[in-house]
Structure 1
Amino acid sequence: MDLGANDAYIRFLGHARSATMHRVGYVLGDGFQVMALGSQAVFEFANLVAGETFYVVENWSPEGGEVNASLGMRVVTRELTGRSRADTWMLVGVIDPLARPASQALLQFVRRVAPRARRVAGICTGGFILAEAGLLAQRRATTHWAFAEHMQQRYPDIQVEPDRIFILDGPFWTSAGMTAALDMALGMVEKDLGPDVARAVAHRLVMHHRRAGGQTQHSELLELAPRSDRIQQALDYARRHLGSSLSVEQLAEQVSLSPRQFSRVFTAETGQSPAKAIEALRVEAARVMVEQGRHPLEVIARETGFRDRRHLREVFLRRFGVAPQALRRHTRSRPDA
């Protein structure tokens, strides 16, 4: 959708769906992870796209006043009381929720306000606040991958899914770490104002694409982590041309190395052979298409460089233990798909 030509239409959508303002309350504890505040920009730009103030964002804390972020900066907050109101509560996590657990005052507040809020969200390790308050029992949830196992061990009655960007189960939303808060906030905007507004906001925020909740936290490009710009350039080229053969000779030519030298340097920097790394990139792209799209598997296989549908299925079974069709059915059955 062309943003310039459709701004008036998007503003109309926002106006039609925003008869009342929606209050978003960020709950900050001492040492909160400062990255979470970046997600407030999603609501700010949703107002700009809609052409009116649909979202009102406020910062709160149990004691009120100035609260120290993990980086040391201070943020002025309002004091949480029995009269505090918000349609959406965003519980902001800390860098280490095991070393800095939520206070009893905060837990009591969350238990009290959850039934009368439209939704309550745990950003990153903020999901531990919901878990400790007993609100995620018998529900699905996620958190930063580094603490997912700890959450599952500490709260066995929660179905922790460590490889998800964000999850919504009933009125409770939980997100993975750091930038995943942006994706979760965009998911909320889509629920409130529709997909056109959410896409426009993502475009204004210069996000390459809006990751849906079911998308994996894992990134093959980050996992490979080459040391040199030359190998990174080869990987970037491969990601843009997954439908091509991507032979060692072709990749080596892109970075002006001989095939033998390229293979040696690539393996030394990434710990994988070029063939294994390219397969990993292909299966990551195919998984996103299977989970988020409706393309036939033959099309997905062709566009991501697999020989055919059967080859795609073989790789999925080897890597994920599940066939592409089963993964698609499972994804569509989830409310955050």
Structure 2
Amino acid sequence: MEPRRHIVFVVFDGIKMLDVAGPAEVFAEANLFGAHYSLSYASPSGEPVITSVGLRLPVDKAAADVTEADTVVVSGGDALVTRAVPADLTQAIRLLHPRARRLVSICTGSFALAGAGVLDGRRATTHWRHAQLLARAYPDVQVQPDALFVEDGGIVTSAGVSAGIDLALALVEQDHGGDLARNVARGLVVFMQRPGGQSQFSAPLEVRPPRTPDLRSVVDLVAAQPGLPHTVGSLAALIGVSPRHLARMFAAEMDTTPAKFVEQVRLDHAKALLDSGCGVAEAARAAGFGSSETMRRTFVARLGVSPSGYRARFATAQRGGKDGVAARAR
């Protein structure tokens, strides 16, 4: 049996509860499918903390008493963007960084990492609303505001609150493979996410990520930026193969063609935009369809309903109608 991977959550007063609970549930769920994670919680002082929802969260020890960890997770909190990062928190991060294989932040937890100086010269991200503030406050950090999560030298930073779940799934996949990570996603009824912009929307759980690194880079690009003018030729050129060879790769590993894959990703993206309240024309542009009419034809052919009809059904579901299209889990 492989050794347990120790995950340490560094918590503090005002910490966002979902930033802790979401990733922790992912790791705990992974244990049901054969992973070997142990979870513990540490505060700078070793004292319990009060979370953003008013719950008192006990801890196992002080951060200084953590001697080893596979992964250290620093979650976010609203106060991290309104006042200076507490000195005891930055000291805890500096102590734990060299003791862990990887250091992770969730949402505004990146401000704590930046305050500790561990992001200097590195690429990082945070919640899109606070990305400009992070860049101004810490000019030595290379902020990537459009990223869902960013890994640089064993330090991984993630975007908004729910992105912590996406990141935890990605870490489980990194540790134990895609099959186990998909089982976790199914168990928690969430979608598997891939690295990319915050405009990224997830492919269906049944889609198996390609084994071939070159093909996966193509798939990741399309998933992250469906609005780009993707063609078979441009995607083939990305990895230095012929369009015919790329088509063979898609057929062998994805059981589809490049064009159909791009169309499906754009369809998923457009559905999510409509779900979130975007208009039809705006969704068509952002998803890369080029025109509302092109998107309408795709919706009718694939779903049997127009974009406006789909949006109306979703609105009904939001009001609690029984016949509406259920909102996508995010």
Matched, 1:64 2:18: no
Structure 2 residue aligned with 1:181, among 164, 168, 183? Answer: 164
Q: Any idea what SS the aligned residue of 1:29 has?
A: coil
Question: Do 2:45 and 2:63's aligned partners in 1 also have CA atoms closer than 8 Å?
Answer: no
By how many angstroms is 1:112 displaced?
2.0
By how many angstroms is 1:202 displaced?
0.8
Q: For structure 1, list consecutive stretches of 5 or more residues without a partner in the other structure.
A: 1-14, 220-238, 247-265, 285-300, 307-337
Please give the residue correspondences for 1:277-292 in structure 2 after superposition, counting only pairs within 5 Å: 277-282=283-288
By how many angstroms is 1:242 displaced?
6.5
Question: Do 2:72 and 2:104's aligned partners in 1 also have CA atoms closer than 8 Å?
Answer: yes
- Name 1:45's counterpart in structure 2: 29
By how many angstroms is 1:99 displaced?
2.2
By how many angstroms is 1:214 displaced?
1.6
Structure 2 residue aligned with 1:150, among 133, 136, 146? Answer: 133
Please give the residue correspondences for 1:145-224 in structure 2 after superposition, counting only pairs within 5 Å: 145-207=128-190, 209-217=191-199
Question: Do 1:282 and 1:304's aligned partners in 2 also have CA atoms closer than 8 Å?
Answer: no
Question: Do 2:63 and 2:96's aligned partners in 1 also have CA atoms closer than 8 Å?
Answer: no
Write the deviation string for residues 168-223 of structure 1: whole angstroms up to 9, x where unpaired: 1111010001110001111111111111111111111111x31112242577xxxx
Please give the residue correspondences for 1:95-174 in structure 2 after superposition, counting only pairs within 5 Å: 95-174=78-157
Q: Any idea what SS the aligned residue of 1:121 has?
A: strand
By how many angstroms is 1:88 displaced?
0.6
Question: Do 1:242 and 1:304's aligned partners in 2 also have CA atoms closer than 8 Å?
Answer: no
- Name 1:28's counterpart in structure 2: 11
Q: Any idea what SS the aligned residue of 1:111 has?
A: helix
Partners in 2 of 1:113 and 1:196 — Cα distance? 31
TM-score normalized with structure 2 length: 0.62
- The alpha-carbon distance between structure 1 residues 134 and 188, as it changes in their structure 2 partners (threshold 3 A), is same
By how many angstroms is 1:277 displaced?
3.3
Partners in 2 of 1:148 and 1:31 — Cα distance? 20
By how many angstroms is 1:59 displaced?
1.3
Partners in 2 of 1:131 and 1:304 — Cα distance? 47
Q: Any idea what SS the aligned residue of 2:65 has?
A: coil
- Name 1:317's counterpart in structure 2: none
Matching residue's letter, 1:97: L
By how many angstroms is 1:111 displaced?
1.1
Question: Do 1:64 and 1:79's aligned partners in 2 also have CA atoms closer than 8 Å?
Answer: yes
By how many angstroms is 1:105 displaced?
1.8
By how many angstroms is 1:283 displaced?
5.4
Question: Do 1:145 and 1:177's aligned partners in 2 also have CA atoms closer than 8 Å?
Answer: yes
Task: With a CA cutoff of 8 Å and minimum separation of 6, indicate the structure with the bigger relative contact order.
Answer: 1
Partners in 2 of 1:73 and 1:175 — Cα distance? 24
Q: Any idea what SS the aligned residue of 2:32 has?
A: helix
Write the deviation string for residues 301-321 of structure 1: whole angstroms up to 9, x where unpaired: 999959xxxxxxxxxxxxxxx
Question: Do 2:5 and 2:37's aligned partners in 1 also have CA atoms closer than 8 Å?
Answer: yes
By how many angstroms is 1:240 displaced?
8.4
Please give the residue correspondences for 1:297-312 in structure 2 after superposition, counting only pairs within 5 Å: none
Question: Do 1:94 and 1:100's aligned partners in 2 also have CA atoms closer than 8 Å?
Answer: no
- Name 1:293's counterpart in structure 2: none
Runs of 4+ with >2 A deviation? 98-102, 215-219, 239-243, 269-272, 274-284, 301-306
Partners in 2 of 1:303 and 1:47 — Cα distance? 43
Partners in 2 of 1:178 and 1:153 — Cα distance? 22
Please give the residue correspondences for 1:203-282 in structure 2 after superposition, counting only pairs within 5 Å: 203-207=186-190, 209-217=191-199, 274-282=280-288
Q: Which structure: larger Rg?
A: 1
